[in-house]
């Protein structure tokens, strides 16, 4: 059962296509010639995206550690 859940979640996250920028930001950034602002915006989006994942992973780790010490 766990393998099916893990497979479903992985397939869900791997096959979803998403755009990182809103339509207005994309239109403005594509019209620039240097594309330096677009690289900065994309780096900022990735940075802002990783913080919640790190926080959730940390919380899950502490919950796992708490439950694993209770079982011993």
pLDDT at 61 over 90: yes
The reported pLDDT for the residue numbered 72 is: 62
Instruction: Break the chain into its structural domains and give their ranges.
Output: 2-71
pLDDT at 19 over 70: no
Q: What is the DSSP letter of 20?
A: S
The reported pLDDT for the residue numbered 57 is: 93
Contacts of 8 (CB under 8 A, 6+ apart): none
Q: Answer whether 0.95 is exceeded by the pTM.
A: no
Number of neighbouring beta carbons within 10 Å of residue 18: 4
> Tens of pLDDT along 22-54?
767 777 777 767 677 777 777 788 888 888 889
Q: What is the DSSP letter of 31?
A: T
pLDDT band per the 50, 70, 90 thresholds, residue 14:
low
């Amino acid at each position: 059962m766990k393998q099916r859940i893990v497979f479903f979640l992985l397939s869900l996250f791997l096959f979803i296509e998403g755009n990182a920028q809103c339509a207005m930001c994309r239109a403005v950034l594509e019209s620039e010639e240097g594309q330096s602002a677009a690289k900065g915006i994309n780096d900022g989006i990735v940075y802002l995206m990783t913080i919640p994942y790190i926080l959730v992973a940390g919380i899950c780790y502490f919950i796992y550690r708490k439950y694993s010490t209770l079982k011993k």
